[in-house]
Structure 1
């Protein structure tokens, strides 16, 4: 029986190891490399593409998503690179299988229902248990990027709720 369990988690371990290596490379690049410029003079310092603009009603402004792992059948998770413009956040939501956020650029906010907002910085890891109602996004003055790992996909996808009000978003206490 134990042999079966070890085999079944090997794909997950492989994916998490790859994400960890990429995350480490991103953090090292941010600390050691000069800023690179794109042809449109937008600052970049990322190892994954920015992706496509998210077109739904679950974000307060412009955010982008690049899915990195989408094979739910073999890995039972999804992994995406999410970029938020300054001040942009997603709605309150939960994940039936939980979520992990790996913060890779800028500063952001994370809040669970009935708890104070937490400031997120590069290198922070947020472990969100299944069905915990929360939101996350950029702080008012910084673009924010994180890798979002949604685990146990077989339990269902994200459960979206109401938008985060300006009063809730602006309640961060330094």
Structure 2
């Protein structure tokens, strides 16, 4: 057992991968052989990810606020505190805060054999306002 009492500093989400103000708090990134990664992601109103995929899928659990999630070829879905979203491996998607509220979610992914957890793509051009 290993108890982590100090986490890395909060960091801002890079503009290449996010639109708007986004902050990332790493919760878990244990050493191999574990491939688990957990991050709390805090989105200001209207802030969101770029399009992206995950090699082994992703679980999002909304901790507070209201947001939106979209997938290629699908409808935009509203998400709110208490909702959990399962994103399939390789599914092209985006997620972020609604236009008027902050949103925080816990993002859980499994790294691929090469250590990657995400493939970032283009920015979302038609994010709902």
TM-score interval for Structure 1 and Structure 2 normalised by the shorter chain: 0.7 to 0.9
Given candidates 99, 102, 121, the residue that maps to 1:140 is 99
- 1:152 and 1:161 mapped to 2: Cα distance? 18
Given candidates 40, 44, 58, the residue that maps to 1:81 is 40
User: What is the total number of aligned residue pairs between the two structures?
Assistant: 123
**Paired residues of 2:21 and 2:44 also in contact (CA < 8 A):** yes
Structure 1 residue aligned with 2:19: 60
Q: Is residue 160 from structure 1 mapped to residue 120 from structure 2 by the alignment?
A: yes
- 1:124 and 1:66 mapped to 2: Cα distance? 20
**Paired residues of 1:108 and 1:139 also in contact (CA < 8 A):** yes
- 1:112 and 1:64 mapped to 2: Cα distance? 22
For residues 1-80 of structure 1, the aligned pairs below 5 Å read 51-80=10-39
- Which protein has greater RCO, CA pairs closer than 8 Å, 6+ apart? 2
Structure 1 residue aligned with 2:83: 124
The structure where helix makes up a greater share of residues is: 1
Residue 95 of structure 1: CA displacement?
0.3
Residue 143 of structure 1: CA displacement?
0.4
Structure number with greater Rg is 1
- Consecutive unaligned residues of structure 1, counting only runs of 5 or more, are 1-10, 12-47
* TM-score between both structures, scaled by the size of structure 2: 0.86
* TM-score between both structures, scaled by the size of structure 1: 0.65
1:154 partner SS: coil
**Paired residues of 1:72 and 1:153 also in contact (CA < 8 A):** no
Q: Which segment drifts farther, 63-72 or 139-148?
A: 63-72
Q: Is residue 170 from structure 1 mapped to residue 128 from structure 2 by the alignment?
A: yes
**Paired residues of 2:60 and 2:84 also in contact (CA < 8 A):** yes
When the two chains are superposed, the root-mean-square deviation of aligned CA atoms in Å is 2.2
